Amino acid sequence: MKALQTLVAGLTLGTLALTAQAHAESLISVPDSNTLKWQEVSGTQGAVSYANVEGDLFGKGPYSAYVKFKKGTDNGLHQHTETLPTFVIKGTFYAVIDGQRTEFPAGAYYKLPSKLVHESGCTAAEDCLLFQYQADQFDLVPVKS
């Protein structure tokens, strides 16, 4: 677990350092995600929450954020306007693309291309904690099957 935390911290700081360098901003450091301000994602009845690290997940412009999913949460069929890189810190997250389910356990990374229709969620085994970042605000656009 310590190695995973070190990897997450390194990836987080690396991403933030590159963003800070590109925007001539100062370094941002988050040694413990529990110290962040967690907010419920509207309409999820407490199943999904997030904590902004930089920018605002639902604002304009680039952001980076931790995202928590309660175990068993499924997002249904949808797509995102922007490419969505995600690092799984805890739990097992999954994506169903073209009928094929892929599970991403703690330590996994994936990058969904923009407008890729998929289903995703957290398995029933335990809650999930993710780290995500995008060039512009997050969105989840439902798609009819």
Q: What is the mean pLDDT of residues 134-142?
A: 91
- Position 32 scores a pLDDT of 80
At 124, the pLDDT band (50, 70, 90 cuts) reads very high
Q: What is the mean pLDDT of residues 92-110?
A: 97
Q: Does residue 3 register a pLDDT over 70?
A: no
Q: Which helix (H) or strand (E) holds 9?
A: helix 2-23
Domains within the chain, CATH numbers bracketed? 32-142 (2.60.120.10)
- Position 7 scores a pLDDT of 45
pTM of the predicted model, to two decimals? 0.80
- Position 6 scores a pLDDT of 45
Distance (Å, rounded) from C-alpha 57 to C-alpha 138? 6
Q: Does residue 126 register a pLDDT over 90?
A: yes
For 11-59, what is each residue's pLDDT tens digit? 444 454 444 445 557 788 887 877 889 999 999 999 999 999 999 999 9
- Position 34 scores a pLDDT of 76
Q: Is the dihedral of CA 132, 121, 101, 3 positive or negative?
A: positive
Q: Of residues 3 and 105, which shows the higher confidence score? A: 105
Q: Which amino acid is located at 94 in the chain?
A: Y
Tokens 């100062």 belong to residue: 26
Q: Of residues 108 and 28, which shows the higher confidence score? A: 108
- Position 8 scores a pLDDT of 47
CB-CB contact of 38 with 68 (8 Å): yes
- Strand ranges inside 31-117, DSSP E: 39-40, 48-54, 63-69, 74-79, 84-90, 92-97, 100-105, 109-112
